[in-house]
Amino acid sequence: MIARDLYLQQIGNYIDKPFIKIITGIRRSGKSTVLLLLRDKLLEQGVRTEQIIYVNFESFTYSDLSTAESLYGYITSLIREDTKNYLL
């Protein structure tokens, strides 16, 4: 995996700020890779695995999350009420 330090640094300035961050780009430009690198960075900073919800819509694992209702149900089933959660 290619390190994308500039992207992580720019995103890192907004981690734990009270607004939603959106990463956009053309298909196959590395958005998912940046999110995986961000997940690794969060883990290095002491965030527990249970606090990170990662959904890759290109993976067959998540093919059943095809409606808003199913995605909502999946995410809410993983959210921990007692701590901060990260949805990637």
Structure confidence at residue 24 (pLDDT): 92
Structure confidence at residue 86 (pLDDT): 95
User: Can you give the residue range of the structural domain that contains 34?
Assistant: 5-87
* Sequence letter at residue 54: Y
Structure confidence at residue 3 (pLDDT): 76
Helix, strand, coil percentages in the chain from 3-state DSSP, rounded to 5:
45, 5, 50
- pLDDT tens for each residue of 27-63: 888 888 999 999 999 999 999 999 999 999 888 999 9
54 contacts 45 by C-beta, under 8 angstroms: no
In 3-state terms, what secondary structure has residue 5? helix
In 3-state terms, what secondary structure has residue 86? strand
Structure confidence at residue 58 (pLDDT): 86
Domain count, the chain: 1
Quote the tokens at residue 31: 């958005």
- pLDDT tens for each residue of 13-31: 889 898 888 989 998 888 8
